[in-house]
Structure 1
C-alpha cells in the first residue's frame, strides 16, 4: 500500500530529498552503528563500517560480519513471501526476518521499531513539548483551518497525491456498492481533497444508481474536483462541508439524516482538533443509515512524520501544526477505539500541558448513542467491525536510512435498528 503523502515525479523526488534532509538530526537513530549493537553481551570487535561491502552494512540491527548465518540474497524475494494479497487488513506480505538484507527492497511490512529508535522518539516528544507553538500561532491556526487548506490546494495541483488504488482491496464494501445491479447506494467522502479517492471509485463503478457526495471544508479543493475531467455531476456531487459543523451545517448539502450507506474518512480525522471529535462523530452518525459503515485510515502514533517535528510545532499531546499551517493528530489504536465506541472524554483546552482524558465511568446507552451522565450530552457509539495497525519500514539505500511509518485502519458501523432496539 502506498503512503498517501507520496507524490508523483518530480514532486515525489523533491519530497524524498526533503525527507532525507529533515532526518539528518535523527541519523544516529535511523542508521546502524556496529559499535553500538550486538547479539551478545560481549560482542567481538567488528571491522570498520567503511571496510564492509554495501550488502554487508546492515542498518536493521546486526551487521553481516556478526551473523553466524546469512540467508542468501534471494530469500527476501522468495515468491512464496511475495504473494498478492486478497484479504483486507493484512497490510502487505514482505516480512523482514533476522539475517535479511534490508536494502534488498525499498520497504518492509509489519516492522516494529527497534529500541534505539523508540528511545529517540521519546526524546523527540519531550523536546517538542518543551518548545510548543506560540499562543499567537495556536489561535490563528485553530481559528480558521480551512484557510490553510485553501492555501495548500492553491499551491498544489490535482496530481499532488497518488490515486488510492488500494481502496477496494482494503474495504470490500466498495466493490459491493459499485457492482452492476447493486441498486441505490449513497457514498459520502469526508475530506475529499482533490478527488483522489472519489475518482478511482467512479472509474471502477458499474452501478448506475450509485451517488457519490465528495465533501471538503476547503473551497479550493472543491473547485479542483469540479474542474477535473473525471467529474460527472450525474453521479458525483462535490460540496464545501465541515464535518465538525453545527446547526444547519451539521449535515452535508443535499443529504438527509439516515441517507448514506458508506462514509469514507481517509486521512481527514487527524486534521480535526480533539475538541472537534465529538461533533464530527455526531454528524457522521446522523447522516448514516442504520447499519451503515465508516471506512477509516489515518496516522498512527509514532509515525516518522510525528517524530520529525521540531520546535514550535507541538500544540497539545500528539497534535501538531505542519509547516504549511495544516494540522495533524497521531492516534493510538486503543484511543481511536474509545473515541468511536462512544467512551466519553474531556476535550483538552488549548493550554500545552493539557491532555485528552477519557472517563472511566460507565455511560448509559440508548438508541446507539452514549449519554454522559455528568454533562448530559450524547456521544455516538459505533460498532467496531475491524481496526488494525499498518506498520512499514521504508529504506533509503543511498543515505543508509530506515524510516518507520505507522497508519491506523478501521471499519466502524452504525448499529442496526435491531441492535438499537436491543440496547434501548
Structure 2
C-alpha cells in the first residue's frame, strides 16, 4: 500500500533524532541531509499540479455495486490485511508523546484536574446508564509492534465480556477500569502501536486504556501480545459506524479519545454521527486527539484512475479505504459534535529516501478538541502550551 508508512524513517546510525518542527530546509542542496524537513512551503505551481492530479484521478468513479461491497465487507478487507501482515507491518509512533503530551506520564491533565477541582467542576456526574458508540477499523498506517511477543491464549473472561458488550447495560460504577482516575480510549487501535507505548511509558497507577478496532484479527493480536495487561487495558472489537454498538464505558467517563489515521477510513457521510457519539463519552474538559491524512498528501496523488469512490475518498488495491481531509472539514465535524478547538494544524513535511534519492511530500492534519466545561462563568482550564511545531497551514 503506497501510503502505509507516513511516519518518518529512523535517523541514520550515530545521528541524533531531531524533534519534529526543528528541521527546516533553507538550502535545497541539503535536501538529502535529513530524512524529513518540516513546514515545507509549496509553490503555486506545485499546489496547482496537485489539484490537477486529484481532478485527474477522481474520474471515473468506482461503480455503485463495488462501493456497496467495500462498505458491507469492510471488516473482511481489514481482517485479511491483518492476517497477512500481523504485527510486523507498522512502525511504532515515536512522535506520540511529543505531539500528544496528554498521553505521557504526569501530563498536563494534572493541571486540568487541579483547575477543575478549584472551580468545583468535578462534581459533574461521570456517567449515564448507558452510552452508545461506534468503533470502526483504524487507518493504522503508522505503527508496528514487531518487537512485542505473544501470549499463548486470550483471557477467557475478557473474551466473554466483549461478546456481551452489545447487550450489556453499562453503569457508572460497573465497567472495566471504573476505579481508574485517568481513562484513555484509542479508536482504531490496530495491533497496538499506540496502546502499548502508552502502557509501557505511562506508569500512572490511575491510568486505564481502552482500545478498539473494526478488525477482530487486530484485536486478537493485541490481546495475545505479551505487553497486554488486562489490569490496565481493555481491548474489544467495535464498529465506529454502528449506531447500535455499545462502548464498555458510560458517557462522560473518558479523559482522552485518540483517533490516529482512523477517521479517514470511515465513509464520509457517517463521520459526523461517529464523532458526535464519541464526544458524549468525554468528561467535561476531556480531549479528542486526531492525526490523519490532509488534502493533496502524496498518497492521494498516487491513486490511479478508477480508485475514487467519491470526492477525496479512495479505495486501495486491498479493499481498504481512505479519505483526505481539509482543516475546515475536521473543524466542522468536531464543533458540530459540541467540542471546542484547541488545535487544528497542517503538518506539511518533505520526506526523503536518501538511499534512492527520492523526495515525498506528505500532508497530515493534527487536531485537539476539548469538551466544554459545565456552562457558567469562569476562567478557561489550562491546556498543553506546546502546539504542533510544523504548523504550516493551507
Q: State the TM-score, normalized to the length of structure 2.
A: 0.71
Query: Is residue 294 from structure 1 mapped to residue 288 from structure 2 by the alignment?
Result: yes
Give the equivalent residue in structure 2 for 1:277. Answer: 271
Q: Which residue of 2 aligns with 1:214?
A: 211
Question: How far apart are 1:184 and its partner, in Å?
Answer: 1.2
| Residue matched to 1:30 | none
Partner of 1:266: 260
Per the TM alignment, residue 226 of structure 1 is displaced from its structure 2 partner at its CA by 0.6
Distance 1:138 1:104 in 2: 43
Q: Which stretch shows the higher mean deviation, 153-162 or 398-407?
A: 398-407
CA contact (8 A) 1:133 1:311 kept: no
The SS at the match of 2:280 is helix
Does residue 155 of the first structure (1) align with residue 84 of the second (2)? yes
Structure 2 residue 225 is matched with structure 1 residue 228: yes
**How far 1:83 moved relative to its partner?**
9.5
8 Å contact from structure 2 (residues 6, 362) kept in 1: no
Report the equivalent of 1:185.
182
Identify the residue that residue 140 of structure 1 maps to in structure 2: 69
2:342 is the counterpart of 1:388: no
Q: Name which of 309, 318, 333 aligns with 2:312.
A: 318
Q: 1:395 to 1:255 in 2, by over 3 A?
A: same
- Equivalent residue for 1:53? none
Identify which of 175, 192, 196 aligns with 2:193.
Answer: 196
SS at match of 1:202: helix
Question: 1:415 is paired with a residue of what secondary structure?
Answer: coil
Report if aligned partners of 1:244, 1:283 keep a CA contact under 8 Å in 2. Answer: no
2:118 matched to 1:121? no
CA contact (8 A) 2:105 2:204 kept: no
The whole-number CA distance in structure 1 between the counterparts of 2:377 and 2:254 is 18
Give the structure-1-normalised TM-score. 0.66
Distance 1:394 1:180 in 2: 33
Partner secondary structure for residue 280 of structure 1: helix
Task: Give the distance between the partners of 2:378 and 2:338, measured in 1 at CA.
Answer: 14
Quick one: distance in 1 between partners of 2:4 and 2:375? 37
| SS of residue in 2 equivalent to 1:312 | coil
What whole-Å deviation, never above 9, does each CA across 1:95-122 have from its counterpart, x for those lacking one? 1114542123332111123344333322
Task: Measure, in 1, the Cα distance between the counterparts of 2:291 and 2:320.
Answer: 18
C-alpha separation in 2, matches of 1:7 and 1:157: 19
1-structure distance, mates of 2:219, 2:6: 21
The aligned residue for residue 168 of structure 1 is 97
Matches within 5 A, 1:395-406: 395-397=352-354, 399-406=356-363
Q: Is the 8 Å Cα contact of residues 185 and 258 (structure 2) preserved in structure 1?
A: yes
